[in-house]
Chains A and B, each alone.
Chain A
């Protein structure tokens, strides 16, 4: 059964909406700022922060500030509404939602907890209400008119890619007729300090796949795509032709030197689509900018593609690493690459990693024959997922 993509929606540090994001990518204007301005933290580290506070997001969405939604939920509603905007909703009876997040309502919980640890009777309960991951899913469904089956996944930085996989399965098993899939994550002091404590944040703008890369920059945002069975869709943007979820089984937070999980996920996704690896025209890499990830992913590229690694780039130099949302945001970019013949530039690249000598795309390209795009998302816990889109 063929699965097609019929809608896309995105919000990131580049701004609200697909057109705004693509315009920034075309102009080569990164969304990463020198330090957070909205997030409450003492760390002066570069981040990809959306320059709109929660009150502004409530207003933009025409949702009363009294609803007091978490930032993860607000970003998610923005992207899901856009994804469903141009989609014909008259025909499908059951619209589902497979969402994902790694922090859930942590932005509100942080607020709550500051008071709570001083006095267990203190802290506003409305700040604790949206802590769990499913809270954002429920709210997104409510404000986007989604009434069918819905679920929530959390597999760290591969979360949204897995949401795409589960969505395709739900369509194949006739549990839904249309499904919105992706992920949302807001910046939080929790994650910023978490990655800081792991010493994998770069104090400068990140440089994925560069010899001098020294870590990632965190970002925030949401990315969702709409999936349908091809026979049910009046028109569509592209096919979801392959996907795979494999585990690196090497370390809780680090990737194997040989890129085992990444290699297996890419190889399986390509095999599922029934194509040869050299048919891939563009790879939107995971490419976080950490020394470990980019070396491991490069090793996996060479294992699968040999001497002819397809044009590839990481867009995290523009958006930052948006954790659970990354696979959703990058799925939107991948789908748009197919639609418009784009290949995105890998921001801040100057010198290839010596051991692999792989050079990513460095200038925004358009009007190319892009027929097959691979999107990678890897995470803590060894989770590695690859998604393959074709025309």
Chain B
């Protein structure tokens, strides 16, 4: 099983003015920070709203979902004693808000699904894209991941003792995934694995690297912060490295004692 990557964009790469990407001022105002970040990254990835129409699969991933909206609504339920609540944060707290919003902005009726599986969310979404590519269900998909950091979540996780070694993080990443290699392809995903046990750096190299110049991204939480879909940022880094000439990048991701995931991104020969 494999698939081809045509473009990767992270929230840090978005240069187009948000007013151009999301022209509806009311919609922009209602959107929470993570929704804005994810939707603008997605639209930048497809080259503007009109690029959404050509997609035949929209697959999103998030470990935590839209935390700020969830928290806002829950706080209102408690503080306002269940009376006269504004539904907007409730609507936007839904995990598939971003995927649904992308479909809605582009009037696209295609396959649309959201994975919410902690540190495996992005890899599970990638697996879905690879299965669809192989089955000929979809040719040109948008695959993305997003998570946000909020003060409450940071505080709760601090109390759990999770940030002793590494800081919390957040981010959004979207990619165009093709079933077949074409003139826009810049990299290939050749392997996606879910090992049953944790692997040392040496073992990752021994088991997954096929070239002596293979670059390994091993648990890069120091760089991107600790959050469930931070491996999507590693994925963007890997695709960019390969597009610039690195023959192969192996991404090893192991989060809080969860079983690890491995993605191998290769250059197009």
Which residues of chain A have a CB within 8 Å of any CB of chain B? 41-43, 102, 109-110, 113-114, 116-117, 120-121, 125, 128-129, 132-134, 137, 149-156, 162, 166, 169-170, 172-173, 175, 189-190, 193-194, 196-198, 245-253, 260-261, 264, 379-383
Q: Which one of B93, B107, B109, B128 contacts A246 once the chains associate, using CB atoms below 8 Å?
A: B109
Query: In whole Å, how far is A112's beta carbon from the nearest beta carbon of chain B?
Result: 8
Determine whether the beta carbon of A382 is less than 8 Å from that of B104.
Answer: yes
Cα separation A247 to B159 with both chains bound (whole Å)? 40
Instruction: Find B112's partner among A117, A166, A193, A245 (CB 8 Å cutoff).
Output: A245
Q: Are B74 and A247 in contact (CB under 8 A)?
A: no
Interface CB pairs A-B, < 8 A, 11:
A116-B152, A117-B78, A125-B160, A149-B194, A154-B65, A155-B114, A169-B135, A197-B87, A247-B108, A247-B111, A383-B112
Whose C-beta in chain B lies nearest to the C-beta of A200? B87
* Chain B: CB-nearest residue to A100: B116
Instruction: State A381–B75 Cα separation when bound (angstroms).
Output: 23
The chain B residue with its CB closest to the CB of A121 is B159
Q: How far, in Å, is B75 (CB) from chain A's closest CB?
A: 6
- Whether B155 sits at the interface, judged by CB under 8 Å, is yes
- The residues of A that contact B93 with a CB separation of less than 8 Å are 194
Report A-chain residues with C-beta under 8 Å of the C-beta of B124: 151
Residue of A nearest to B158 (CB): A120
The docked-state distance in angstroms from the alpha carbon of A137 to that of B155 is: 25
Residues of chain A within 8 A of B114, CB atoms compared? 153-155, 381
Give A352 to B46 CA distance when docked, in angstroms. 45
Q: Which residues of B contact A252 (CB under 8 A)?
A: 91, 97, 100-101, 104
Determine if B117 and A189 form an interchain contact, defined as CB atoms under 8 angstroms apart.
no
With known contacts A193-B85, A194-B73, A381-B100, A154–B135 Cβ distance under 8 A: no
Candidates B71, B87, B96; contact of A381 at CB < 8 Å: B96
B262 at the interface (CB under 8 A from A): no
Distance to closest chain B CB from A98 (angstroms): 9
Q: Are A249 and B75 in contact (CB-based, < 8 A)?
A: no
B111 touches A125 (CB 8 A): no
Chain A residue nearest in CB terms to B95: A154
Query: Across the interface, which residues of A come within 8 angstroms of B25, CB to CB?
Result: none
Contact A246 B73 (CB under 8 A): no
Q: Which residues of B contact A113 (CB under 8 A)?
A: 71, 74-75, 78
Q: A102-B95, A247-B110 are in contact. Are A197 and B90 (CB under 8 A)?
A: yes
Contact A246 B111 (CB under 8 A): yes
Further pairs besides A151-B120, A172-B135: 5, Cβ < 8 Å: A166-B128, A190-B70, A193-B82, A198-B91, A380-B97
Complex: A173 Cα to B117 Cα, angstroms: 20
Task: Give Cα distance in the complex from A169 to B104, angstroms.
Answer: 26
In the A-B complex, list the 4 residue pairs whose CB atoms are closest, starting with the nearest.
Answer: A381-B100, A194-B90, A154-B95, A197-B87
* Cα distance, A121 to B158, chains bound together (Å): 11
CB distance from A220 to the nearest CB of B (A): 17
